[in-house]
Structure 1
Amino acid sequence: MHPTQANPIPDYEVTVPSEVEGLFSTALGWAVGIGITVLVLALIVGIIMFAVGSLNTRPDMAANGKKTIGVTILAAALLGLPSVIIFTVFSEMSAS
């Protein structure tokens, strides 16, 4: 294990007050929940736009639906990626 992984500053431990930690935890939970809800709704709208545009003579609507689906999937990946990285790093640090 690299020495900077365990504790970058020797003999110093970062602590967050419990009042602030609870507030951040709640706010982060709400933000992620709302973000996921908005992404699911955007994905549904994109799928509907793609379906209607494909069945009509409106290829521009189908193209916009495809773009919406792609952007929504990318945004969902960007929303979930930090959590995966953080949990991976902390699980490796606690296992060592």
Structure 2
Amino acid sequence: DSGDYSQKSVHVSKHGSPALRKTLYQVMDVLIKTKPDDPVYLFMDKKRAQGKPYYVYMTAGANKFLRIYYGRVKEYLASLPASE
């Protein structure tokens, strides 16, 4: 049945910057080892508990990290006084 297929490993997309991808995986690795209360850690832990492969939950965690980081930077820039 098509709905019962369970893939054991997933290839990571090779689009984008390899250096950025490597850096993001390093950030996620440190985050997993040191920040158990972080929202990104909790998200990745949930994905891991769902049985997702390593690169799937690491990529999803990196995506979540970037979204949170972008939101914080955008919020910070909006709080700065307007320059003329």
- The higher radius of gyration belongs to 1
Structure-2-length-normalised TM-score:
0.35
Higher helix share: 1
Normalised TM-score (structure 1): 0.32
Structure number with higher relative contact order (C-alpha < 8 Å, ≥ 6 residues apart): 2
